[in-house]
Amino acid sequence: TVAARSRAFSPPTPRARRHVSTSIAHLGPVSYLPRQVPALVMRSVENARSALDDGDFERAIKMMNSTDQLCSKVVAPPTVHGLAMRVLSDAYVKKGELESAKAALEKGLALCKPHDGRAGMPPFMRADLNGRMGDLLMALGEIHRTEGDAKGACRRMRQAIERFHVLGQNEFVAATHNRIALTLIEQGKHKLAMDEITEAEKMGAGNEHEAAILSTTFSYKGKCLEAGGDVTGAREAFTKALSYGMACGNEGVVQEAEAFLGQTQDQSTIDQDAFL
């Protein structure tokens, strides 16, 4: 996990070493981190997520606020503290308090920013930091989208893509292009959305999540082509979306594709007699 792989951003002092086990000595930005803190943070995160699943938003918020205070007190690494802020934001979103949710995400980013681009940072540490920042930026983009702020949503999501490129996870890049495409489609900007879809097609191919990503990509492509009057192209896109959707169990895409293909069957270019 991000938390388990984060390393110190400066060497621990002799005094600090007495409080940090060798197995987690890599977990603190200045290593003033008692050995039980990472486990406490991760346990709190899991408990908060369980509370969210149960609909107990207040309990999740209370737990994550306490975790935030703990992380601040012990100077927890930014990736660990940032994770706590991400879950706190999720709880505020569930409760409908979007301003508080954005504030939690912004705090998470502020915690990571001082370490961003630091010289001499090992590759895996740089990946962890960029992965956390990308996740926080993506969550911010989704909140902007919920608020109807398409410009803010696209800006944050594109910032997330930059981070995911550093992380080297093409599936995250492709999935984010999909979300930008959806945001643009909702604004009626289908031509701009097609640029994002093209990138999603390219980045989504050839990884273990290919079917899940491309089922959505081709569904959005079908919508854009339909909006532009290209029913034949839309049918081709929805046919691919249907195939990928069936492969990964994306029922929403399957139903949507089947409905469109059924409604436009009279415009099919396939010779039905060839199957008789």
Average per-residue pLDDT in the chain? 85
CA distance 52 to 46: 10
Q: Is the pLDDT of residue 230 over 70?
A: yes
Tokens 């961003």, located at residue = 116
Global confidence as pTM: 0.81
Kindly report the number of other CB atoms within 10 A of residue 115's CB atom. Answer: 18
Over residues 2-6, the mean pLDDT reads 35
The pLDDT assigned to 129 comes to 92
The pLDDT assigned to 31 comes to 36
For the chain, the farthest-separated pair of C-alpha atoms sits apart, in whole angstroms, at 82
Q: Is the pLDDT of residue 9 over 60?
A: no
Which amino acid appears at position 269 of this protein? T
**Band (22; pLDDT cuts 50, 70, 90):** very low
Cα–Cα separations (whole angstroms), residue 139 to 87, 90, 189, 203, 240: 10, 9, 22, 20, 29
Residues 28, 75 contacting (CB under 8 angstroms): yes
**Band (122; pLDDT cuts 50, 70, 90):** confident
CA distance 42 to 27: 13
pLDDT digits (tens, 9 = 90+) for 60-76: 999 999 999 999 988 88
Residue scoring higher pLDDT (229 or 24) = 229
Over residues 235-263, the mean pLDDT reads 97
The pLDDT assigned to 77 comes to 85
C-alpha count within 13 angstroms, C-beta hemisphere, residue 197: 24
Over residues 88-113, the mean pLDDT reads 97
pLDDT digits (tens, 9 = 90+) for 183-204: 999 999 999 999 999 999 999 9
Q: Is the pLDDT of residue 55 over 70?
A: yes
The pLDDT assigned to 7 comes to 31
pLDDT digits (tens, 9 = 90+) for 137-148: 999 999 999 999
Percent of the chain with pLDDT over 70: 83
The pLDDT assigned to 41 comes to 83
Q: Is the pLDDT of residue 54 over 80?
A: yes
Among 67-76, 176-185, 262-271, which range has the highest average pLDDT?
176-185
Helix (H) or strand (E) holding 126: helix 123-146
